[in-house]
Amino acid sequence: YDHIYPRGRSGETLRAYDTLNGDRPCVIKRPALQDAPPIRAGQELSILNEKRALEQLRGHPVLCELLHSGTFRIGGQQHQYIVIEMATGETLEALTLALAAQGTRLPDLELLTILEGVLDLLQAAHDKRIVYNDVDAKHVFWDREAYRLKMIDWGNAVFLDSETHGHVTRHADIAQVGQLLYFLLSGGRRLDLNRPEAVNDLPESVAPR
């Protein structure tokens, strides 16, 4: 690997190259080596969660492919790691904010293509009783040159056939899609469901189409 991304709930995410597949760019997720064992255990749960979701949804074009998985040891304790296809393009968060700074937003055709892909993947997940539970512009990559969409980071997924899903339902994804759409149309504003409705009105600078 040649780069370590900011630490997340899955521990460390490393940018690497798959030498078994023509040096294909990929990412490795593993528990953070320097963290205490109880923290690494929580990170591993997120990694295993993502592995399970990627395995069940394998083959969907909007999903980053699970390339490899395995185990390694830290201080005699065995941990899991996964290797995933690297998403290309920019996050919708970065792209939306950059366009808003120029006084514009994504063209309608691109926006509809993105939403179609997001909804199709979520429907595929819901059909398998999986709730993504993390729909956010920072988790959606859009490659404008290749017209390619990828949704990353399934570590927060909830499996409805599990006894541990709590009160999470498919409605969580539906509400988060609404928040994503608001973010894209408003030029990067976050929808606050706890504030009065008028506060969340689209700014006048966003022209209707």
pLDDT above 80: residue 155 = yes
Residue 15: is it exposed, middle or buried by C-beta count within 10 angstroms (0-12/13-18/19+)? middle
pLDDT grade for 202, boundaries at 50, 70 and 90:
low
The residue ranking higher by pLDDT, 147 or 33, is 147
- Can you give the pTM of this predicted structure? 0.87
Please check whether residue 152 is in contact with residue 64, taking contact to mean a CB–CB distance below 8 angstroms.
yes
Cα–Cα distance for residue pair 123/162, rounded to 1 Å: 19
The per-residue pLDDT for range 84-141, each reduced to its tens digit, is: 999 999 999 999 999 999 999 999 999 999 999 999 999 999 999 999 999 999 999 9
Cα–Cα distance for residue pair 166/144, rounded to 1 Å: 38
> 3-85: CATH homologous superfamily?
Phosphorylase Kinase; domain 1 (3.30.200.20)
CATH topology (fold) of 90-200: Transferase(Phosphotransferase); domain 1 (1.10.510)
Domain ranges of the chain: 3-85, 90-200
The per-residue pLDDT for range 48-87, each reduced to its tens digit, is: 999 999 999 999 999 999 999 999 987 788 899 999 999 9
Percentages helix, strand, coil for the chain, rounded to the nearest 5?
Answer: 35, 25, 40
Question: Residue 5: what pLDDT?
Answer: 79
pLDDT above 50: residue 209 = no
